[in-house]
Amino acid sequence: MRAILLRQFGGPEQLQPGTVPDPVPACGELLLRVEASSVNPIDTKLRAGALPALAPDLPAILHGDVIGTIEAVGCGARNWKIGDRVWACAGGFKGLGGALAEFMAIDASLAAPAPATIPVEHAAALPLVAITAWLAVIDRARVRPGQRVLIHGATGGVGHLALQLAKIAGAHVTASVSTEIKTALARNLGADDVILGRDAPESAFDTVIDTIGGPNLDNTFRQISPGGTAVTIAARTTADLSPLHAKSATFHAIFMGLPLLTGQGRDALGTILRHVTSLIHQGRLRPLIDQIFPMSQVAAAHARLESGQATGKIVLRSDW
């Protein structure tokens, strides 16, 4: 099959076309004809060699987000049939093939029926970021009606889904954004208040969702109220935890890729995508799309994400 291969770690130019044998679905797996994928920060970091503990062996096929049509069903993969369209975040890590190819074999427990009420390319933008936002807002923070929630990076990939999920949960949502253009986008997504920059009031929020990491965790810890909950998707830090201790606050770190690496808890990811599909069908959740590239131009898509100019998700449409 045709694929985009990473033969050595480095810049976007290292993503080159090639051919590899077709994958064969093992028991419990589905073989998908890939229709679309999307670019996430972890994809660019894996390509650059910045995450050696998570990186697949070279030559590698990257990218976890996938939407596609089932071409073959492995033994034991019940409740699926050839021709079903499914979506998942299912690979691109160590030991797992990715979506930058004509076909991708995925664990059936990670899959859910793809939403039929939005374009395929829009759906492809969502699996990783929607699962991550769900884990942050619903699973860990357990946001409830009337709570005050602050979302840092509220128009980014995870942030724009976290904003919508917090509103669906009944919270009063304040969005933290970096530009005036993003201010309007955040309000359009449902934010009650918008702050330009990261300097929100101290001790003012029941929950703070941080999608920025690094020095912004210090802001997050200051902004959480006593007894509140802070959640980050970027916890590689040496931040001082004293403010959390002083407020008896709870701190969670989210890494949605862990079930892909360990094999444990994969069913939960498929279940979350079923919930997300339902919200999309109800018109309550929608993706923010920055740009759609042909898959053959994945190097340009990586460069776009790394430029820092993207707002929302960058999508790759299969053009084999």
By three-state DSSP, how is residue 220 classified? Answer: helix
Report the Cα 42 to chain-centroid distance in Å. 9
Architecture of domain 129-253: Alpha-Beta Complex (3.90)
The CB-side HSE value for 269 (13 A sphere, CA atoms) comes to: 30
pLDDT tens per residue across all 320 residues of the chain: 999 999 999 999 999 999 999 999 999 999 999 999 999 999 999 999 999 999 999 999 999 999 999 999 999 888 899 999 999 999 999 999 999 999 999 999 999 999 999 999 999 999 999 999 999 999 999 999 999 999 999 999 999 999 999 999 999 999 999 898 899 999 999 999 999 988 888 889 999 999 998 888 889 999 999 999 999 998 777 778 888 899 999 999 999 999 999 999 999 999 999 999 999 999 999 999 999 999 999 999 999 999 988 888 999 999 98
Distance of CA 73 to the CA centre of its chain: 26
Domain range summary for the chain, segments of one domain joined by +:
2-126+259-317, 129-253
Helix (H) / strand (E) element for 30: namely strand 29-39
Distance CA(91)–CA(107), nearest Å, equals 9
Q: How is the beta sheet containing 193-196 ordered, strand by strand? A: 193-196, 172-177, 148-152, 205-210, 224-232, 250-253
| Amino acid type, 94 | K
Question: In CATH terms, are 2-126+259-317 and 129-253 the same topology?
Answer: yes
Count of other CB atoms within 10 angstroms of residue 319:
9
Classify domain 2-126+259-317 at the CATH class level. Answer: alpha beta
